[in-house]
Amino acid sequence: MEEKLKVRYHSKEIEKLTYIEGKGDWIDLRSAEERKIKKGEFCRISLGISVELPQGYEMLVAPRSSTFQNFGLIQPNSPGVVDESYCGDNDILMMPVYALRDTEIHINDRICQFRILRHQPRLCFEEVESLENEDRGGFGATGIR
């Protein structure tokens, strides 16, 4: 069953949202503005759209794997979380970025990506003395290869 994502475009210049066939189910988001960003600068880049998520869903926004390589940008709040209450016409999606080098962003540059997920179920927290499972080796224990 397909869910409906209502999208309001605030720019006629940006390409419409679409899946890139054969490349997974994350959907690329594009810059809706021209931006020169200096090393060490923080800013928010407009993605030029507002959305209405289906009830019971939230959106995860993360940099594309090439964003750092191509633009020298990191997303300080990565991943960003958008809940379904952020659904007004002027609730324009933005990507907060921090520049690690001088860079330029152009309209339609693919700088981040999103997917939507159902809300986590309500959890009941049960305190125990032991989880009674074998240890895997701790954080970072899987090695490099």
Q: Mark whether 25 is an active-site residue.
A: no
- Please pick, among 28, 83, 89, 135, the residue that the annotation labels catalytic: 83
The H-assigned helical ranges of 4-59 are: none
Burial class from Cβ neighbours inside 10 Å (0-12, 13-18, 19+) for residue 55 reads exposed
Residue type (1 letter), 130:
S
For the chain, where are the E strands, in sequence order?
6-9, 27-30, 35-37, 42-46, 49-52, 57-63, 73-74, 80-83, 94-99, 103-105, 110-118
Catalytic residues: 83
